[in-house]
Amino acid sequence: MKNIARIIRGDIFISEDTLLSGIVNGSITVAENTIFNLSGILNGRLFLKEKATVYLSGMVSGDIVNNGGYLEISGTINGNIIRQQGQIIVKPEAIINESRTKFNNFFPLR
């Protein structure tokens, strides 16, 4: 698994299994059949392609758009969660827009 542990400015495309423990200032798109562990910080939008898998234990300041992947959230999101397709699991420890209970009806939990 690739590890990104630095600061990146600009948009990136994740096409191999990757752990982000650094900071990205830009958007991230996760390709099909790719596992992405986000334990760092994303200042931008996150896009999941069909069959992408994302485990989010870090922080996202921006919208998340799920286009058919699997998204598991245990971290912090300051933005909207938009589910076009796919599955979204929100763990009890997740914080979305500064609240553990406020989901704003942007997505079904399953």
Task: Please check whether residue 8 lies inside any domain of the structure.
Answer: yes
The pLDDT score that the predictor gives to residue 98 is 82
The pLDDT score that the predictor gives to residue 100 is 64
With vertex at residue 62, the alpha carbon angle to CA 77 and CA 9, rounded to the nearest 5 degrees, is: 120
Task: Please check whether residue 107 lies inside any domain of the structure.
Answer: no
pLDDT along the chain (110 residues), means of 10: 95 98 98 98 98 98 97 96 94 86 46
The pLDDT score that the predictor gives to residue 16 is 98
Task: Please check whether residue 12 lies inside any domain of the structure.
Answer: yes
Task: Please check whether residue 55 lies inside any domain of the structure.
Answer: yes
Report how many domains make up the chain. Answer: 1
Task: Please check whether residue 78 lies inside any domain of the structure.
Answer: yes
Task: Please check whether residue 24 lies inside any domain of the structure.
Answer: yes
The pLDDT score that the predictor gives to residue 105 is 42
The pLDDT tens digits for 84-94 are 999 999 998 99
The pLDDT score that the predictor gives to residue 104 is 44
The four Cα atoms 27, 66, 80, 92 give a dihedral, to 10 degrees, of -110
Domain span at residue 90?
2-96
Contact assessment for residue 36 and residue 20, using Cβ atoms and an 8 Å cutoff: yes
Contact assessment for residue 83 and residue 67, using Cβ atoms and an 8 Å cutoff: no
